[in-house]
Chain A
Amino acid sequence: MAKLIMSLDNAVIREVPLDKERFTIGRKAHNDIQIDNLAVSGEHALIVTILNDSFLEDLGSTNGTLVNGNPVKKHILQTNDVVEIGKYKLKFVSEVPAGAASVADFEKTMVLRAPMGKMNPPGPGGGAFGDTQISPTATHTTTQSKPPQPAPTAAKQPDKLAAIQILTGPSAGKELELTKNLTTLGKPGVQVAVITRRPHGYFITHVEGVTFPVINGKPLDAQAQQLNDHDVVELAGVKMEFFFKNS
């Protein structure tokens, strides 16, 4: 289950488990988290938790709600996000359940559907993970904790940027930086090769055409080949050099 750790001037005041669907934060007494400070609006912000996601929403407060220093209207909280309301800081922590066998087990696809008969939805922490989840609608909360799953990032890029320089033909001298995931070279319909940028380097692969690209005098086969600094690629009659950019 996720929780908020509330602090003021780096001193922890209290911990609030997000154990129900809606949590209101504000100055007035009826809020779930009351912050009695004039910088805080009467109804300042709201946190709605649905299964593994907690949504933070600013309720049109006078002084706004910040997450990690940036003002937000609506935000899906990620673990270790710091919510600032007035001078108060609320750190959002989504807990990893104890006894987690492996991260992968928690990410398995599960089905959400209407409850049948007497079957009870598994309570928090109840039921084996990976079990079918039963929940009538999207707004019903069957909390089952799961370790935070980082959002997919674009494939990691190699640290060093590379480029190719054309050595022969009419465009000799031209340079092309390989910033994209995929860069195609050659003439469509005649001969095309692609250079892919991957976390561990750059690779060249033949795409189309009867003749294959030649790397340092050796023809490429059907497999991708990693490019090294100063490799010379010959493609559709044009020679070009692959090299890593300095800096």
Chain B
Amino acid sequence: MIVNLGTALEVVTATDPGMVRSHNEDSIGTDADIGLAVLADGMGGYNAGEVASGIAVAMLTTEMKKAFEGNEPHTLDGSGESLAEKFVRENSAKANAAIYQTAKSQPQYSGMGTTLVVALFFDNRMTVGHIGDSRLYRLRKESFDQVTRDHSLLQEQIDSGMITKEQARYSQNKNLVTRAVGIDPEVETEIHTYNVEVGDIYLLCSDGLSDMVQDEDIHSTVSTLQANLPLAAKQLVQLANDSGGRDNISVILVRVMDDFAVPTGWFAKFKAWFR
């Protein structure tokens, strides 16, 4: 990696088993230097959920770091795809294969799987990959938006017009995802790339937060406490627990503190030497 993002991004994490579950099946991983945040919400009996989400996060963090040694995410490969998207896709597939194989070879892990949401920051952009119902939100100035669209039965019902977002809060089917990592030999990762602005705050979270706390409350918490991200993360977990904490809660907050465009002209490159 030539551009070190450690100084451009503030990354804060929090994870909590919640009020009901005895153990935490969520896993989170971040690497501010390469601009990476990964969050996975595992599922499966006994401790299989932890194993699945753990494999996904470990695989993504180590493989992405390796992939970008000597490569830059903004460069394009032969087919015109940025390396950022290519590596997110390839390494999500690797995680899928690893979990699928482990589940097949060890009966106690049979049927395990995990959701996944990955954000990779580079060149004033962000590539987001996701599978399942873990989410990424963006706070930009006054507006707070959900960037990812869940792969869930509920989302399908909302999309088909069968129920409204309002009604969805009362659904009993919140726990059904239509896509997960490690269940089938192959899985399609939904990948998009967005422009990033200085001052943006991104929130990656598991459904333990988004099912328990309404978007407006998440918004007001992040926006009110944006001066102190560690406190905001803690407060989000507390809010989910105060509302019942029925599932594991994980959050990653990423603040864009500085421009991190890849230097292009000779002068910019020259300046970059002295950063």
Contact = CB atoms under 8 A, between A and B. Distances in A.
Contact of B227 (A51, A154, A207): A207
Contact of B231 (A152, A199, A205): A205
A50 interface: yes
B214 A198 contact: no
B177 A149 contact: no
A225 to B, nearest CB: 13
A167 to B, nearest CB: 24
For the complex, would chain B's binding face be called helix, strand, loop or mixed by DSSP majority? loop
B235 A196 contact: yes
B244 to A, nearest CB: 7
For the complex, would chain A's binding face be called helix, strand, loop or mixed by DSSP majority? loop
A181 B246 contact: no
Contacts of B58: none
B175 A148 contact: no
Contacts of B47: none
B108 interface: no
Contact of B211 (A152, A188, A196): A152
Interface stretch (A19-27, A129-137, A234-242): A129-137
Interface string A189-209: 000101010110000011110
B235 A182 contact: yes
B71 interface: no
Given A153-B243, A182-B220, A109 B207 contact: yes
A112 interface: yes
B29 to A, nearest CB: 20
A75 B225 CA distance: 36
B50 interface: no
A160 interface: no
Contacts of B175: 107-110
Interface in A162-198: 180-182, 184, 188, 192, 194, 196, 198
Interface of A: 50-53, 55, 74-76, 78, 94, 103-104, 107-113, 116, 128, 130-133, 138, 146, 148-149, 151-156, 180-182, 184, 188, 192, 194, 196, 198-199, 205-208
